[in-house]
């Protein structure tokens, strides 16, 4: 039976569940899977070994090498759920002691990398000109709050003005008939006599 590998994620912690036999061949498969996660930017891992039925020295050595590599990149590895039958083998075969927890839930409980908003961290990284920000220890909430304040301070001066609705046109006064000029109009105020004189002509 070959090794089985399933991956999941909780916050920024990548969960790698192992099952079957972690022998020399299985160690190669696990190493390839872990390298792929690292290439995608994963830095925090919980290795869930609850499904293993066998572990060789080669398989445990690959986990030790992986843990040392992650530590150099300021990441973390936690081991969870090692079956009781394999616990002596793990203790003897791991040259580097990996923090071990009785279950996956225990390994995830209180993990500092859970709940970090990476989008916010990347945005702050761009604002301050850094390549990346990697929270460590229990500082994730403080960093997130500081990031939110920084983003708000940076964004406020550049906010666009709120568009205003166009004003309603001012209604024009009702049109008036032009007043007639009595001097310009020869018919103005001439009466009936004037009209008769024009028709009959001068005497």
Alpha helices in 75-157 (DSSP H): 87-93, 104-108, 118-128, 140-155
pLDDT band at 20 (very low <50, low <70, confident <90, very high): very high
Q: Please write the tens of the pLDDT for every residue from 105-163.
A: 999 998 999 875 555 556 656 665 655 544 444 444 444 444 444 444 333 332 222 33
Domain boundaries, the chain: 4-108
**Mean pLDDT, residues 3-24 taken together:** 94
pLDDT band at 171 (very low <50, low <70, confident <90, very high): low
Q: Please write the tens of the pLDDT for every residue from 64-93.
A: 999 999 999 999 999 999 999 999 999 888
Phi–psi pair at 36, nearest 5 degrees = -65, -40
The pLDDT of residue 93 is 83
Q: What is this structure's pTM?
A: 0.57
CA distance 134 to 127: 15
User: Is the CATH number 3.30.750.24 carried by domain 4-108?
Assistant: yes
The pLDDT of residue 124 is 55
Phi–psi pair at 71, nearest 5 degrees = -65, -35
Q: What is the mean pLDDT of the chain?
A: 74
């Amino acid at each position: 039976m070959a090794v089985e590998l399933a991956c999941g994620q909780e916050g920024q912690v990548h969960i790698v569940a192992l099952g079957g036999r972690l022998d020399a061949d299985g160690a190669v498969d696990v190493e390839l899977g872990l390298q792929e996660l690292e290439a995608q930017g994963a830095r925090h891992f919980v290795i869930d070994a609850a499904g293993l039925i066998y572990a060789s020295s080669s398989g445990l050595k690959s986990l030790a090498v992986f843990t040392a590599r992650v530590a150099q990149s300021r990441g973390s590895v936690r081991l969870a759920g090692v079956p009781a039958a394999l616990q002596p083998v793990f203790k003897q075969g791991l040259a580097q002691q990996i923090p071990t927890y009785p279950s996956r839930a225990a390994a995830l409980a209180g993990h500092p990398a859970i709940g970090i908003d990476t989008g916010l961290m990347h945005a702050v990284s761009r604002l301050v000109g850094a390549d990346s920000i990697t929270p460590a220890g229990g500082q994730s909430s403080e960093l997130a709050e500081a990031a939110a304040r920084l983003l708000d301070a940076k964004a406020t001066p550049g906010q666009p003005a709120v568009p205003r609705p166009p004003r309603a046109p001012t209604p024009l006064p009702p049109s008036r008939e032009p007043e007639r000029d009595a001097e310009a109009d020869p018919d103005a105020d001439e009466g009936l006599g004037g009209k008769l004189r024009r028709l009959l002509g001068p005497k």
